[in-house]
Amino acid sequence: MSASPDRRTVLRGAALAGAACFGAAACGTGEQKPDATRPASDAPTELGPASAVPVGGARLYAEQRLMVSQPTKGEFKCFSTVCTHMGAVLNKIEKEQGVCPLHGSRFDVATGKVVHGPATRPLEEVPVRVRNGKLMAG
């Protein structure tokens, strides 16, 4: 099964938005959206063993700019770690919340919703599934 353009765009956009922010002198003045104009790969991203994500917790995949949570055993959620405030990348998880280092926004790892601003929009959700014990995002 191949990913839809929207799913691929989210993954690709997440990586590009974060890279663009850190490559520029400033991260802009508004909330960022994934770049829908870039070409996307058809291949889902393999994140490694599903067992690496704790039940009731989450794990960051820094290189892929993704966060995967497992709210209940066998149920996985995946989100872009590009902050919806100004595009910085979440760099840690505390108390089941993904934390943005730039202005301190916090996002629920199970839903992607904002727990603490200044961000107002939830993290972009990315489809994820388990195939042969491995997480596949996108």
Chain contacts with ligand FES (rule: CB under 6 A): 83, 85-86, 88, 100, 102-105, 118-119
Least distance CB 120 / ligand FES (angstroms):
10
Nearer to ligand FES, 32 or 70 (CB): 32
Distance CA 120, CA 9 (A): 21
Give, in degrees to the nearest 5, the angle at Cα 33 between 31 and 37. Answer: 145
Q: Please, which residues bridge with residue 46 across strands?
A: 136
Nearer to ligand FES, 19 or 130 (CB): 19
Least distance CB 86 / ligand FES (angstroms):
4
Nearer to ligand FES, 5 or 104 (CB): 104
Least distance CB 100 / ligand FES (angstroms):
3
- For the chain, the distance separating the N- and C-terminal CA atoms, rounded to the nearest angstrom, is 11
Q: Are 68 and 40 in contact (CB under 8 A)?
A: no
Nearer to ligand FES, 93 or 135 (CB): 93
Please compute Rg for the chain using Cα positions: 14
